[in-house]
Amino acid sequence: MTTSSPTREEILISLSTNGYVILPSLIPPALLSPLREAAARTIAKARLDWPHVRVVGKQFPPWPTGARDDVWGVQHIMHPDLQEPVFAEWYGCDELVEAVTTILQCEEKDIQLELCNLLINPHKTPFSLAWHRDAIPPATSDAEEIELLKAPRGGTQWNTALLDDECLLVVPGSHRRARTAEERRITIDDPRAPIPGELVVKLKAGDTVFYDNNILHRAVYPTNPERVTLHACMGTVGAGWERARNILQHGMEWVKEVKYDGRLEEMRGRLVRMEDEVVGKEVGYSLPEETAETIVTMVAM
């Protein structure tokens, strides 16, 4: 738990050294209760019939649509059909945008709207995600992994806990180096096994952790305690093909049809420009399709 806000310099050092940084109180106080209330309604809809969900048993897109037994995530919570405008209010708030421009070392005019989702506890079946980097498949060679890790990320992602959350595990520093032989074996053959040096990210309600999407990470989702954590990212314009795939693989066509106000509308316009640039091309998915062997629902906690 972090109690005081790190300085700009501390944020950048922590991200580059450890691959993550915790910022307390990034939620404007007046938004905390409305966010929790909106999240409760959203979770109820997600378990019932909201079409954009992460289903238990599958950990990467494409997400199945239609019937679902249990869910661990709610996608596209700024979608107007959900009728919960407080999520967009939070996503576009000064506190977040200032943190993002600090981390990406850019100006507000350079950032684009990307993903805004909710991570929740499944209500029937404990579930866990395997160790992964978001945009580098486990079979990647050492040499290629090092090259890919050198590339700028073109964005930042974060988890903001609306209730205390200890679900995310990271391997500090692993965003800067190829996997050790042991990590390689684990990520390929036994991807839920403990990794030496792993650390549980402990968030108090209201805390936000920003983390490199290529840090080795996984998450454990018990059916209780309740998890209600906003999971979102923003990127910089012109970040390139990998970033486009990482975002558009989640299905962002709906963003073309909506309209927000002010800053968010400008950020939406930048995302739509990125979508227009890849029209007609197959963006595909950042990680390989899951197989029956990699899909595991029950997990030893």
Please, which residue, 100 or 119, has the CB nearer to ligand AKG?
Answer: 119
User: 30: Cβ–Cβ under 8 A, 6 or more apart, which residues?
Assistant: none
- Site for ligand AKG contains 129 (CB under 6 A): yes
**224-263: which residues touch ligand AKG (CB under 6 A)?**
none
Instruction: Report in angstroms how near the CB of residue 159 gets to ligand AKG at its nearest.
Output: 5
**Interface pattern 106-125 for ligand AKG (x via CB under 6 A):** -------------x------
Instruction: Report in angstroms how near the CB of residue 168 gets to ligand AKG at its nearest.
Output: 4
Please, which residue, 134 or 290, has the CB nearer to ligand AKG?
Answer: 134
- Site for ligand AKG contains 161 (CB under 6 A): no
Strand order in the sheet with 127-132: 127-132, 217-221, 168-170, 199-200
Contact residue for ligand AKG among 35, 219, 252, 264 (CB under 6 A)? 219
Q: How far apart are the first and last CA of the chain?
A: 22
Q: Which residue is nearest to ligand AKG (CB)?
A: 219
Please, which residue, 234 or 260, has the CB nearer to ligand AKG?
Answer: 234
Torsion of CA 129, 132, 133, 136, to 10 degrees: -130
> Crossing angle of helices 94-104/8-18, nearest 10°?
60
Please, which residue, 73 or 101, has the CB nearer to ligand AKG?
Answer: 73
What are the CA-CA distances from residue 174 to residues 41, 146, 149, 216, 240 (Å)?
Answer: 37, 11, 10, 6, 23
Please, which residue, 181 or 300, has the CB nearer to ligand AKG?
Answer: 300
Contact residue for ligand AKG among 95, 134, 198, 290 (CB under 6 A)? 134
CA angle 164, 170, 174 (to 5 degrees): 155
- Site for ligand AKG contains 217 (CB under 6 A): yes
Instruction: Report in angstroms how near the CB of residue 226 gets to ligand AKG at its nearest.
Output: 14
SS3 readout for 256-270? HHCCCCHHHHHHHHH
Round to whole Å and give the CA distance between 69 and 3. Answer: 38
Please, which residue, 104 or 167, has the CB nearer to ligand AKG?
Answer: 167
Number of residues that bind ligand AKG (CB under 6 A): 8
**166-195: which residues touch ligand AKG (CB under 6 A)?**
167-168
Strand order in the sheet with 111-120: 20-23, 208-211, 155-161, 228-236, 111-120, 71-74, 53-55
Backbone angles phi, psi at 101, to 5 degrees: -70, -30
CA angle 266, 270, 271 (to 5 degrees): 120
Please, which residue, 159 or 208, has the CB nearer to ligand AKG?
Answer: 159
Positions touching ligand AKG (CB under 6 A) are 119, 129, 134, 159, 167-168, 217, 219
